[in-house]
Structure 1
Amino acid sequence: MSLTVAEVAKILIVLTVFLLAAHLGGHIFARLRQPPVIGEIVGGLLLGPSALGLVAPSVADWLIPPSGPTAHVLGAVYQLGTILMVFLAGLEMRQSGLGAERRTVLYTTVTGLVIPFVGGLAIAQAVDPEALAGPHGSAMSISLVLGLAIAVTSIPVISRIMMDLGIMDSLFARTVLTVAVVEDVLLYVVLAVILGLAHIQADTSYGLPALLPGDSIGWDVAYYVGASVLFFALLLVGGRAAFQRLATGPLGALERRSPAAFRLVFLFALCLSCMGLGIDPIFGALTAGIAMAEKKDAKTGSPGLSAVRGFSLAFFVPIYFALVGFRLDLVQNLDLVFFGQLFVLACVIKFGSVWVGARLAGKTPSWSTHFAVAMNARGGPGIIVASVTFGAGVINGQFFVALVLLSILTSQLAGAWLTRVLSKDPTFVSSDRPPVPAEALVGQQSLPSEPLSATAVAPPETRSTPH
């Protein structure tokens, strides 16, 4: 397909506008000591139906028309941004060890997953699923999305909060991150099932499921669960070894010529493998990130990984978040009553489930409270759940807006809570290292929680992240 000069010019103009809006919004929010990613979302929001669409609807429609080359290019950038965002999430998942506080990890993981999903099913019975479902949604998929929305915890958000407060090496921080890693891996499997059900509902199954006979929902669900679990298990166990073997073997020449290209080939190969199995390519991106993640104590990072991360955070990820903001139609889809109910229920259920698990593990009430608040931050993974399910037609615009706002606000609250608590009692995080001196916390109280994404493990000026 060839494009005219006018079409190419329009694509470049639109990409430039979104890139500028995202980075300018991120810069302003960083100067205000707020997560830059919220600024990126706000930048897109101002270009969409909630702002520009009200004062100049023709301009907003020109930016992203319903069809044509510009819409296709932005759709491709959005999908690549999703893949790279999840890839960066995978890079973060190896940052914490699983050895600390095994009893606490076990109890809080079980209660923090089981209770929210039971809560999601209960809420789904109390509401009309059709009022929240998109064209390819169902009562089962809406129930699962509600469970995910309540249970998900953001690894990058938590990482940034801990780094800002100087407690990343504490037992408290390591336990939080370990539970978040285990939860997120399991929750991504549930997301695979949700997207599989959406393809069944839309009759758009691809890969191996499209070749299998039968039309039983039960067998379809069993397939997506089995394929997702098997894929995760194989890559979690052998992904890192396979990556290193390819780097020194068949693709060694590419690794030496261009380390960034080699990593992109590995990333895309896993995404294509997922598509062949009929599961969403974001799960290939997640396992690719886990396989390539560098050790926490590594003195120098991989030049190839730094290049992929740098360009992703300069171009694809900001535009991804700006497009998320562009899709937020607060005028038509913000139901304050529904959002308020979802916010309260999600926070209470997640907080209560984690608090109960920590108490069963023998932790004190205050420690359990701080731990439960930290696990309530949903951040980037919450936004990914919202954007991916909305894009697949599982949820409608009202539910999408509520999920994005839920992710942003819970992350802000977690950061504010821990900052306040640590300034009053710097010893609560530590049982395995000396207490943080109170004077070390001077100036920390106004630090931002984290940009809800991989973009926030370093100062906004560098935009470098381990996630």
Structure 2
Amino acid sequence: MSFVSTFTLSGLELTRFFFAMVLLLFTAHSFGFLFYEAKLPRVIGEIFGGLVLGPTLLGYVAPDTENWVFGAFPSEGQLISVISYIGLVLLMFISGFEIQRAFSKEDRKIATSFLVGATFVPFIIGMLVPYIYNFSAYSGPNGNMLSLAIIVGIGVSVTSIPVISKIFIDLKIMNTRFAKIVLAIATVEDVIQFAALAIATGVGASASTSLSLIGYTAFVTVAFFGAAMLGLPRLIRYTIRSRFDVLVKFHPSRYALFLCFLMVALASLLNVNIVFGAFLAGVAVGMMPEEVFALAKSQVKSISLAVFTPVYFAVVGLKLDLVHSFDILFFLGFLVFSTALKGGGALVVGRLIKQRRLPSLNLAIALNARGGPGIVLATVA
């Protein structure tokens, strides 16, 4: 087989692939719209659309039909997975745009207190859980317990910026001090989550855990973060001020996407999780003056949310088999435990810093919105 032939699909294979993609997009958007009309998050509808097409429903009722659509030829699943990963990368890229960077001294004090009590403490307790409760069934092919512990810690402590932002917009409280504090906490959590996830996936690639491996993985991740936050904004500013400014002035979307995929490629090369690279690229682009990348951010967000991100969430549902591989008791137990741990931490902090009970309760509820990052965590880990 020649090198060129590996890039070629037959007419029938292309037809079947695009049919599968159209079906995924149709069900994702259809159920997303229905859930939106029911005042529920659109993303849940997109995942539900994938569930309908996967082994949970179509594969259970008509397995031959499911295989005809999604197993038409050996590499069809890989092609769909590539489109899904592009959706994940773009989702993290546009999430980086939303990172909050300017806060008052008083807001920083409150946010820091809740960050410690409702994020760091639950994260540490969550990391201890796999060593107490038997999580061996969820430890992955290499059975690395440290990697699993980090994943569980992230799972019980993360807050979703996209989900909580949408809730604040719907409630018309996006510009309030309360919303700003919640988003400040969620911003720091997002950075910590993707850094920790990068370490977890790096460590999890090995069956054994050594101090040198942990140290190396942590060093590479932190160095990558530092280099990205220091170097990428400088690279963008240099391009804007140099004779190459035409790249940004006339093709801002192309330049932004180039930076995104450059960071993803570098992250993969360094064995750092690719979502971290995309997220940092989004943060760097978001740090630029609004007039520079405003149109680019809008265009990238539009195409991502219209095509690639719905496919990503639909594929999440497509991979789930809730008929044969869903432990309802474990699910309910983890849900109650993580909600109580994060919410309880927020209430305790509110009492310690003499916050009134209602604002503390509101923070406890708001910080329990996991959504997008939780789904990313589940699919990447």
TM over 0.5: yes
- Give the conservation status (yes or no) of the 8 Å contact 2:16–2:72: no
- Give the conservation status (yes or no) of the 8 Å contact 2:51–2:320: yes
**For residues 222 and 349 of structure 2, what CA distance do their matches in structure 1 show?**
25
Q: Which range moved further: 299-308 or 171-180?
A: 299-308
**For residues 173 and 105 of structure 2, what CA distance do their matches in structure 1 show?**
18
Of the three residues 387, 407, 426, the one matched with 2:379 is 387
Match of 2:20 in 1: 14
- Structure 1 spans left out of the alignment, 5+ residues: 202-214, 390-467
Please state whether the residue corresponding to 1:333 is helix, strand or coil.
Answer: coil
**For residues 342 and 31 of structure 2, what CA distance do their matches in structure 1 show?**
31
Which digits, 9 at most, give the CA deviation of each residue in 1:275-296, with x for residues without a partner?
2322112111001111112689
Structure 2 letter corresponding to 1:145:
I
- Give the conservation status (yes or no) of the 8 Å contact 1:94–1:290: no
RMSD: 2.2
- Give the conservation status (yes or no) of the 8 Å contact 2:35–2:45: yes
Structure 2 letter corresponding to 1:217:
S
Which digits, 9 at most, give the CA deviation of each residue in 1:18-57, with x for residues without a partner?
0111111111112222211111111110000110011101
How far has the Cα of 1:99 moved from its partner?
4.2
Of the three residues 71, 90, 97, the one matched with 2:96 is 90
Would you say 1:274 and 2:267 are equivalent positions?
yes
Matches within 5 A, 1:325-340: 325-340=317-332
Match of 1:243 in 2: 236
Q: Which range moved further: 247-256 or 140-149?
A: 247-256
Please state whether the residue corresponding to 1:330 is helix, strand or coil.
Answer: coil
Please state whether the residue corresponding to 1:68 is helix, strand or coil.
Answer: coil
Match of 1:303 in 2: 295
Match of 2:3 in 1: none
Q: Relative to structure 1, is the Cα distance of residues 242 and 358 closer, same or farther in structure 2, using a 3 angstrom cutoff?
A: farther
Please state whether the residue corresponding to 2:266 is helix, strand or coil.
Answer: helix
Match of 1:413 in 2: none
Of the three residues 72, 75, 89, the one matched with 2:78 is 72
Match of 2:126 in 1: 120
**For residues 98 and 120 of structure 1, what CA distance do their matches in structure 2 show?**
31
Which digits, 9 at most, give the CA deviation of each residue in 1:51-104, with x for residues without a partner?
001110111123333972311211111111111111111111137636452221
Q: Which has the higher helix share?
A: 2
Match of 1:372 in 2: 364
Of the three residues 329, 343, 351, the one matched with 1:359 is 351
Match of 1:220 in 2: 213
Of the three residues 218, 243, 248, the one matched with 1:255 is 248
How far has the Cα of 1:252 moved from its partner?
2.5
- Give the conservation status (yes or no) of the 8 Å contact 1:94–1:295: no
Structure 2 letter corresponding to 1:123:
V
Would you say 1:233 and 2:230 are equivalent positions?
no
- Give the conservation status (yes or no) of the 8 Å contact 2:160–2:369: yes
Match of 1:34 in 2: 40
**For residues 250 and 48 of structure 1, what CA distance do their matches in structure 2 show?**
51
**For residues 76 and 118 of structure 2, what CA distance do their matches in structure 1 show?**
42
How far has the Cα of 1:129 moved from its partner?
2.3
Of the three residues 310, 314, 321, the one matched with 1:318 is 310
Match of 1:145 in 2: 151
**For residues 305 and 12 of structure 2, what CA distance do their matches in structure 1 show?**
28
**For residues 230 and 110 of structure 2, what CA distance do their matches in structure 1 show?**
24
Q: Relative to structure 1, is the Cα distance of residues 196 and 164 closer, same or farther in structure 2, using a 3 angstrom cutoff?
A: same
- Percent identical among aligned pairs is 32
**For residues 321 and 225 of structure 1, what CA distance do their matches in structure 2 show?**
29
Which digits, 9 at most, give the CA deviation of each residue in 1:197-256, with x for residues without a partner?
22223xxxxxxxxxxxxx972111111112212222333345333323224436423323
Q: Which range moved further: 37-46 or 55-64?
A: 55-64
**For residues 230 and 113 of structure 2, what CA distance do their matches in structure 1 show?**
24
How far has the Cα of 1:345 moved from its partner?
0.4
Structure 2 letter corresponding to 1:230:
A
Would you say 1:54 and 2:60 are equivalent positions?
yes
Match of 2:277 in 1: 284
Q: Relative to structure 1, is the Cα distance of residues 241 and 362 closer, same or farther in structure 2, using a 3 angstrom cutoff?
A: farther
How far has the Cα of 1:373 moved from its partner?
0.9
Please state whether the residue corresponding to 1:7 is helix, strand or coil.
Answer: helix
- Give the conservation status (yes or no) of the 8 Å contact 2:122–2:342: yes
Please state whether the residue corresponding to 2:83 is helix, strand or coil.
Answer: helix
- Structure 2 spans left out of the alignment, 5+ residues: 1-5
